[in-house]
Amino acid sequence: MSATGTARRLSINQWTVRRASIPELVSAAVGAGVPAVGLWREALAEFGVADTARAVVDAGLRVSSLCRGGFFTDPEPRAARAAHDGNLRAIEEAHDVGAPVLVLVAGGLPAGSRDLAGARERVRDAIGAIADAAAAAQVVLAIEPLHPMYVADRAVVSTLGQALDIAEQFPADAVGVVVDTFHVWWDPEVLAQIARAGRGGRIASYQVCDFPTPIPADVLLARGMMGDGHIDFGPLTSAVSAAGYRGDVEVEIFNQDIWDADPSGVVRLARERFEALVAPFLDPAAEDAR
- Interface residues with a second copy (CB under 8 A)? 109, 114-117, 120, 147-149, 151-153, 158-159, 161-162, 165, 185-189, 211, 213-217, 219, 229-232, 235
Closest by CA position to 258, among listed 23, 28, 10: 28
Shortest Å, Cβ 228 to a second copy = 12
Query: Cα–Cα distance between 55 and 14 in angstroms, integer?
Result: 14
Shortest Å, Cβ 108 to a second copy = 9
Query: Cα–Cα distance between 138 and 91 in angstroms, integer?
Result: 9
Question: Toward a second copy, which CB reaches closer, 33 or 216?
Answer: 216
Q: How far is CA 75 from CA 87, 89, 112, 148, 251, in A?
A: 16, 20, 12, 22, 33
Shortest Å, Cβ 175 to a second copy = 17
Helix axis angle, 160-167 relative to 190-199, nearest 10°?
A: 20
DSSP 40-56: EHHHHHHH-HHHHHHHH
Question: Toward a second copy, which CB reaches closer, 196 or 268?
Answer: 196
Query: Cα–Cα distance between 156 and 98 in angstroms, integer?
Result: 29
Question: Toward a second copy, which CB reaches closer, 45 or 186?
Answer: 186
Shortest Å, Cβ 52 to a second copy = 33
Question: Toward a second copy, which CB reaches closer, 116 or 172?
Answer: 116
Question: Toward a second copy, which CB reaches closer, 46 or 257?
Answer: 257
Question: Toward a second copy, which CB reaches closer, 139 or 236?
Answer: 236
Shortest Å, Cβ 166 to a second copy = 10
The b-or-e profile of 124-146 (16+ CB within 10 A means b, else e) is bebbeebbebbbebebbbbbbbb
Question: Toward a second copy, which CB reaches closer, 98 or 161?
Answer: 161
Q: What are phi and psi of 198, to 5 degrees?
A: -65, -45
Query: Cα–Cα distance between 123 and 130 in angstroms, integer?
Result: 11
Shortest Å, Cβ 149 to a second copy = 4
Shortest Å, Cβ 232 to a second copy = 4
